[in-house]
Amino acid sequence: MENPTVARNYAEVLAALANEAKDLDGWGVYMREVADACTTDETLRAFLGSPRVTVAQKSKIVGDAFGKKMPAKFVRFLQAVVMHRRQSLLQDIAIEYLSLVDEMTGRVHARVQVAREVSDARQHEIAKDLGRITGKKVVPHFTVQPRILGGIIVRIGDTVMDGSVARRLASLRQKVLSRVAQ
């Protein structure tokens, strides 16, 4: 992250505006789209980074490009970012904004590893169970890892809950070896 404090400050302003508009998640989608476009579109990145184009011209183009697709206050926010020459922070602002919205809404993301694909109903059950355990709304991100053999491994932040068959077998092996060594 280029400058996390500045990005966080911009994200807080954006969150206040989005909260006022009662659309935290919608503005998150807009911010992610703009940040992704700035990252993947070489022409846009070159345009925004060009010292030959004045900030006033950049601001006008941003207004014209997004004005009809996004709320006016959101577009003015983007223009303010450009006017303060902080367009290189758009990706960092998006990351900070999404993190801030998660905090504000009591939402956490969980990386869930399973041995094989699970049905949508089972994914919903797992999310519900994790929500009950954490006391928060859990957004699970599932990945299939056949090496765990069965069960589930969940990572939420720094917390790891390992209910995998592979771990249970390793633990059982360790117990057997320690008894044999006695």
Residue 2 neighbours by CB distance under 10 Å: 10
Quote the percentage of the chain above a pLDDT of 90: 81
Report the number of secondary-structure helices (H) and strands (E) in the chain: 8, 4
pTM (2 d.p.)? 0.74
- Cα(135)–Cα(128) distance, integer angstroms: 10
User: What is the pLDDT, as a whole number, of residue 3?
Assistant: 67
Q: Which DSSP symbol is given to 53?
A: S
β-strand partners of 28: none
- Which run of H or E residues covers position 29? helix 24-40
Report pLDDT for 168: 92
Per the prediction, the chain carries an average pLDDT of: 92
Q: What is the pLDDT of residues 86-139, one digit of tens each?
A: 999 999 999 999 999 999 999 999 999 999 999 999 999 999 999 999 999 999
Buried/exposed code over 32-50 (b: 16+ C-beta within 10 A; e: otherwise): eebbeebeeeeebbebbee
Domains of the chain and any CATH numbers = 4-103 (1.10.520.20), 107-181 (3.40.30)
The phi and psi torsions of 98 (rounded to 5 degrees) equal -60, -40
Supply the pLDDT for residue 180: 82
What value does the mean pLDDT take over residues 163-170? 92
Annotate 65-108 with DSSP letters as a single string: HHTTTS-HHHHHHHHHHHHTT-GGGHHHHHHHHHHHHHHHHTEE
Residue pair 26/64 in contact (Cβ under 8 Å)? The answer is no
Q: Is 21 helix (H, G, I), strand (E, B) or coil?
A: coil
Give pLDDT tens digits for 47-64. Answer: 998 999 999 999 999 999
Radius of gyration, CA atoms only, the chain: 22
Token pair 């041995």 is found at 115
Based on the number of CB atoms within 10 Å of its own CB, is 65 exposed (0-12), middle (13-18) or buried (19 or more)?
middle
